[in-house]
Amino acid sequence: MLAGGRSSEHSISLAGGASVAAGLRCAGHDVIEVTLLREGPWQHDGAELDLRPGRGLLGADVAFPVLHGPFGEDGTVQGLLELLDVPYVGSGVLASAVCLDKVVAKDLLARAQIAQVDYVGVRAARWCAQPADVLAELAPLGLPVFVKPSRLGSSVGIAKVAEAAALGGALDAAFVHDPWAIVEALGTGIEVECSVIGATTGATASQPGEIELDSDWYDFAAKYEPGGMRLRVPARISDSACELLRATAVEAFERFGCSGLARADFFVDGERVLLNELNTMPGFTTTSVYAKLWEASGLPYDELVTRLCELAIERHEQERSYRF
């Protein structure tokens, strides 16, 4: 089990990793815990690891990288695990990189004609050189909008902007985290999330759950502070909207080439279903939405983490059968 990492989601990863380790032990598995320090080194039992291509990872049958954001969820660690030749839970290099980059992912969703909120990608260099042009491009999105770093999760660096005068400050704040930002139009309706599990072909979607908030929007505090949000399962949407939402979650999972797991986040307004993003390694504590949705769908936590390990081994065996 890998947890920690170099991103600003380090502490969230450690909490998820502890839950995964406990769940695997509860299911009868032996767990080797590896911590990825903020500074970069990998440690096991306090000693820094010496990683060698083709030599596996501490003799583990499968790696479970409970890592979020850059240097963990973006294809980098997945590439290293490929070089080590160890099966690992979750999507491969390309799908991980694509899904973490919100602008790239939304561009691909647009090409696939999957309904989503309107958006504009902004580069830090262009914002510095042509701020007036950037603001003109953002104007058609209306207000309020959400300004986000393109390659972070857990609502880190995100701002809801209700006045045009505040757009510049929100972009500057996002660029502290990432030179690539995304500005999204307000999604109307309710926020609904759906968990997906399976191989690149043949994935299954959970019962959708509705995110109920007391705050204005689903910010970091709402996600991680006690009582910040409530998950209502099933979501209060029509049967037809539910069917469309689950089908869209699986379609996006397969189009991106995801594997193992993902959480799909939507806005639903009546029969209108908009996919907001796909998270290839969502929060993974026992109280996180991904696990809670599977629990509500009949798959308890210890069985969930076991199944994800099985899928990782199956994918590894299949991919090694090809002559690249």
Catalytic residues: 9, 154, 224, 263, 265, 277, 279, 283
| Backbone angles phi and psi of 293, in degrees to 5 | -65, -40
Torsion of CA 1, 9, 105, 281, to 10 degrees: 30
Distance in angstroms (rounded) separating the CA atoms of residues 89 and 68: 13
DSSP tag of 186:
P
Residue 147's CB is within 10 A of a number of other CB atoms, namely: 26
Instruction: Identify which of 210, 229, 74 has the alpha carbon closest to the alpha carbon of residue 153.
Output: 74
Cα 96 from Cα 281, distance rounded (Å): 9
The DSSP bridge pattern shows strands 34-36 and 42-44 to be: antiparallel
Task: Look at residues 47, 36, 116 and name the one whose alpha carbon lies nearest to residue 71.
Answer: 36
Rounded-to-10 torsion of CA 271, 200, 233, 290:
-130
What phi and psi, each to the nearest 5 degrees, are found at residue 276? -95, -50
